[in-house]
C-alpha cells in the first residue's frame, strides 16, 4: 500500500475510504516484505490509544496543581507520579489477573473474576499492548480520585487507596 490518503471534512470520499479499508483488510497476516499485517495494525492502534490515555495523567496533574493552594502543588505532582507507579505494580501483580486471567467457571463456581494469570503469567507478546491499554485506564481511574481528594488526604492513605483501586476495584467493576 504505497499511496497515502488523508481523510478530512473537505475531501471525504466514502468510496475511496471503502477501497482503502478493503486494501488494508486484504493485507495478509504474514509479514510480506515490510507490509503491516492487520494484527500489527491493531496493536499499533491500541498502543496509540493507550499512550493518549496515559498522557491524561499529565493533564490531570496540571489541573490538580492549579486547583490547590500553592503549598500543595508539589504534593500533587508526587501523588500523581506515585499513582502511576503504584498502579502499574498493583495492576501487573493482581489487577490484570483478576480481570483477564484464567476462568474459574470449570471449578463449580460462577465466572465472576479470574483465578489465575497474575503477574502476567504466560502472557505472550500478542497481549502486552492490551495490558498497557488496560493499565492506563486503571491508573487514570485512580488519578481521577486523586483530583477529588486533592489537598484533603495524607499521602500514605491516598497511596493505599490508589493500590486498592488499581488492584481490585477497576478490574472487578
Q: Residue 77: its pLDDT value, please? A: 92
For residue 55, give the nearest of 80, 86, 78 by alpha carbon.
80
pLDDT score, position 30 = 45
Classified as helix, coil or strand, 76 is helix
Q: Burial level of 113, CB count in 10 A (0-12/13-18/19+)?
A: middle
The set of cell numbers assigned to 15 is 468510496
- Cβ burial of 2 (10 Å; 0-12, 13-18, 19+) is exposed
Q: Which residue has the cell 492513605?
A: 157
Q: Per residue in 6-22, pLDDT tens?
A: 555 555 666 776 777 66
pLDDT band at residue 109 under the 50/70/90 scheme: low
Q: What is the reported pLDDT for 108?
A: 59
151, pLDDT greater than 60: yes
Residue 8: predicted pLDDT: 57
Q: How far apart are the first and last CA of the chain?
A: 42
- The stretch 116-138 carries a mean pLDDT of 83
The residue ranking higher by pLDDT, 42 or 27, is 42
pLDDT at position 111:
61
Instruction: Tell me the backbone φ, ψ of residue 140, rounded to 5 degrees.
Output: -65, -40
For the four alpha carbons of 150, 78, 47 and 172, in that order, the dihedral sign comes to negative
31-77 confidence digits (pLDDT tens): 455 566 778 888 889 999 999 999 999 999 999 999 888 988 999 99
Amino acid at each position: 500500500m504505497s499511496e497515502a490518503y488523508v481523510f478530512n471534512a473537505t475531501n471525504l470520499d466514502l468510496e475511496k475510504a471503502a477501497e482503502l479499508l478493503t486494501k488494508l483488510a486484504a493485507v495478509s497476516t504474514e509479514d510480506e516484505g515490510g507490509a503491516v499485517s492487520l494484527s500489527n495494525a491493531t496493536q499499533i492502534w491500541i498502543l496509540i490509544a493507550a499512550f493518549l490515555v496515559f498522557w491524561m495523567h499529565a493533564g490531570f496533574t496540571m489541573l490538580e496543581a492549579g486547583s490547590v493552594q500553592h503549598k500543595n502543588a508539589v504534593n500533587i505532582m508526587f501523588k500523581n507520579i506515585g499513582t502511576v507507579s503504584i498502579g502499574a505494580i498493583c495492576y501487573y501483580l493482581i489487577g490484570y489477573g483478576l480481570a483477564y486471567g484464567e476462568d474459574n467457571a470449570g471449578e463449580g463456581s460462577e465466572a465472576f473474576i479470574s483465578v489465575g494469570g497474575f503477574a502476567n503469567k504466560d502472557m505472550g507478546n500478542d497481549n502486552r499492548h492490551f495490558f498497557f491499554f488496560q493499565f492506563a485506564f486503571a491508573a487514570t481511574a485512580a488519578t481521577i480520585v486523586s483530583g477529588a481528594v486533592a489537598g484533603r488526604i495524607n499521602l500514605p492513605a491516598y497511596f493505599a487507596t490508589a493500590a486498592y483501586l488499581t488492584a481490585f476495584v477497576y478490574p472487578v467493576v
